[in-house]
A and B are shown apart, each in its own frame.
Chain A
Amino acid sequence: EIVLTQSPGTLSLSPGERATLSCRASQSVSSSFLAWYQQKPGQAPRLLIYGASSRATGIPDRFSGSGSGTDFTLTISRLEPEDFAVYYCQQYGSSLWTFGQGTKVEIK
């Protein structure tokens, strides 16, 4: 079973700053099967990125994903007030889905 480890656990930034979130897999993951989600308090997760780098419908272009193999990154180019939330990566492999433990992006 592939384990996803996200870092940092918490990222304290100001609006307008750049956020870089990491997701590291315990073994190689197909880029086609790596996704990122945003979750705000009391809400269901929302799909941001799939296939490691493709934005989901309606997602602003300040969100971008990159990476391959075991190292993947979600970048938010300029944080807007509504971007402060928890972010999860998720992978699929060998008929199993797994999520990372999450990175909280908080206002500094």
Chain B
Amino acid sequence: QVQLQESGPGLVKPSETLSLTCAVSGYSISSGYYWGWIRQPPGKGLEWIGTIFHSGSTYYNPSLKGRVTISVDTSENQFSLRLSSVTAADTAVYYCARARGGSYQFDYWGQGTLVTVSS
């Protein structure tokens, strides 16, 4: 059974960098698929942040480009998100998820982690 688990600080100060990691179990990242980050501000809808292919190719939401970096560590079977220059608008539940190649739906999701941006 594929499982994803987000981890990282729950509180980040404005202008600093948000860093999260998604640990994957039950499947080897290096075997394939896309691995993505999606966020959901409190009481609002889902926003795609970006996706990385197992080979390292990255795809980012244009509205966040320039602030987002997604990387993969196949030796640890995990991938990471860095979002720089955060503001209160970046407060959200952050989810990691796996996307199937060929049809691109997110079939497995982590439970999500709330990140609050506040001084």
Contacts and interface: CB of A to CB of B under 8 A. Distances in A.
B85 interface: no
Question: Which range contains the number of A residues in contact with the other chain?
Answer: 20 to 34
A15 interface: no
A33 B103 contact: yes
Interface stretch (B8-16, B23-31, B43-51, B73-81): B43-51
Given A1-B62, A44-B95, A44-B112, A99 B48 contact: yes
A50 interface: yes
B112 A92 contact: no
Contacts of B97: 44
Interface in A82-96: 88, 90, 92, 95-96
Contacts of A88: 45-46
Interface in B86-114: 95, 97, 99-100, 102-107, 109-112
A47 interface: yes
24 contacts: A33-B103, A33-B104, A35-B103, A35-B105, A35-B106, A37-B106, A44-B97, A44-B110, A44-B111, A45-B109, A46-B109, A47-B106, A47-B107, A50-B100, A50-B107, A56-B105, A88-B45, A92-B103, A95-B59, A97-B48, A97-B59, A99-B38, A99-B48, A100-B45
